[in-house]
Amino acid sequence: MLKNDLLDQWDRENFFHPSTHLAQHARGDSPSRVIKTASGVYIEDRDGHKLLDAFAGLYCVNAGYGRQEITDAIAAQAKELAYYHSYVGHGTEASITLSKMILDRAPANMSKVYFGLGGSDANETNIKLIWYYNNILGRPEKKKIISRWRGYHGSGLVTGSLTGLELFHKKFDLPLANVLHTQAPYYFRREDLGQSEAEFVAHCVTSLEEMIAREGADTIAAFIGEPVLGTGGIVPPPAGYWPAIQEVLKKHDILLVVDEVVTGFGRLGSMFGSDHYGLEADIITIAKGLTSAYAPLSGSIIGEKLWKVLEQGTDENGPIGHGWTYSAHPICAAAGVANLKVIEALDLMNNARDLGAYLKGALADALGDHPHVGDVRGEGLLCAVEFVKDKDDRIFFDTSEKIGPQISAALLAQSQVIARAMPQGDILGFAPPFCLTHAEADIVVAATVQAVGAVL
């Protein structure tokens, strides 16, 4: 067993952590956080501190930690066949079974699943396939992708461009050309406070239509969006937003990519966010909840309309020139099969819906009247508290005041509860594992009240 000091030193000297202040970490100004084990909604660090993880890692450990059914399936698959590729028609029982399980649960008119490793590469795949589709259809100019400000779709070259958060663009020369950002459906932060929700939706639609008119519909291939904005602040859409947006997209023959990396497999209390909001996607992106993060696996669920053109393309041009070594990795696929079985056998999706309503209600009851709480919102087991400097005059904190990070740090220090300070704005996010109990939700709420009281 390594001594803590040595492990900290190796960490500082060798490990490049994602989404981290690199200089501070290398200097040792920010602590190494070494997690050792986990069970249910709790993770435990190397010193034996138990922390209630109310964000399920990065909203991905939906089935909860330490599920033996999933770890046994991973071990059994690793013993039988740790790896074989899925190129040129190869597969394994696990990958074929998982593709069938996904399609059986997916919304109508979905045809095939392409497997990747994470949400970012799945969205890269989607954009490549959309470009291929338009080339096969003989319209090579129809290539631009519209995303939304505050959307999050990954941090690769194209996907970091699709992400509508400045932090992911700054100093990386992003966004790339061909990616456009339109109005976020964020009613609480609307510019015109006099707007009703319906007027704000009309404003979102007009902004989109103006962009399409400006660029030319024949240059725009697709629109990508999360059913509920996630990393950009956990923002459910205002009523009527999605039907109105879909109408515009259909009118201009623009494909819809629904990024369900967070919402897929039950987070909103429905199997997919697309079911929840009546979305008719051309491609659905899945990751996180597909395996509850027991192994890295993502997918692009391809709609019938696209699939037919992809087939036509390979008849005309030969095999599709797109593939990852680890696509449909058997160990990850086995984790996916076992995870979906656990979620369904234990009725965890319904628990997510019930506990989500309970948690949001309890947070609203406890904090709704606080002078610095501007909004308590959510959908399913995904909710957020947004802090404001002045509630009546709608004055927001400056990001540099780091109110969200201060409150999440207090929550951890005082109560050993993890909630996520969302990267932009002063928002605390909650997305616990689906197995959360009422008693655990009560702990989270009481701890949050205490942390808010300590900071504001």
Q: List residues near ligand PLP by CB under 6 A.
A: 58, 118-120, 123, 152-154, 226, 230-231, 259, 261-262, 287
Q: In whole angstroms, how close is the CB of 59 to ligand PLP at the nearest point?
A: 7
User: In terms of CB distance, is 290 or 367 closer to ligand PLP?
Assistant: 290
CB of 230 or CB of 236, closer to ligand PLP? 230
Map tokens 């859409």 to a residue: 237
| Nearer of residues 230 and 303 to ligand PLP, judged by Cβ | 230
- Select 131 or 152, whichever has its Cβ closest to ligand PLP: 152
d(CA 344, CA 349): 7
Min dist CB 156 to ligand PLP, Å, is: 8
Select 142 or 181, whichever has its Cβ closest to ligand PLP: 181
Q: In this structure, what token pair is assigned to residue 178?
A: 């061909």
How near is the Cβ of 121 to ligand PLP at its closest, in Å?
7
CB of 137 to ligand PLP, least distance (A): 27
Q: Which two tokens stand for residue 294?
A: 């027991």
Residue with the CB atom nearest ligand PLP in the bound state = 119
Q: How many CA atoms lie within 13 A of 363 on its CB side?
A: 29
Question: Shortest approach of ligand PLP to residue 114 CB, angstroms?
Answer: 15
CB nearer to ligand PLP: give 142 or 329. 329
In this structure, the strands spanning 35-39 and 420-421 are unpaired
Q: How far is the CB of 19 from ligand PLP (least distance, A)?
A: 10
From edge to edge, which strands make up the β-sheet containing 179-182?
110-116, 298-303, 283-286, 255-259, 220-225, 144-148, 179-182
Nearer to ligand PLP, 55 or 152 (CB): 152
State the minimum distance, in angstroms, from the CB of residue 144 to ligand PLP. 20
Nearer to ligand PLP, 119 or 356 (CB): 119
Q: How far is the CB of 335 from ligand PLP (least distance, A)?
A: 15
Side chain identity at 242, as an amino acid letter? W
Closer CB to ligand PLP, 287 or 417, in the complex: 287
List the strands of the sheet with 420-421, edge to edge.
373-378, 383-387, 427-430, 420-421
Nearest Cα to Cα of residue 203 among 228, 184, 225, 216: 184
CB of 423 to ligand PLP, least distance (A): 10
Task: For residue 29, give both structure tokens.
Answer: 């100004």
Lateral strand order in the sheet of 50-53:
35-39, 42-45, 50-53, 417-418
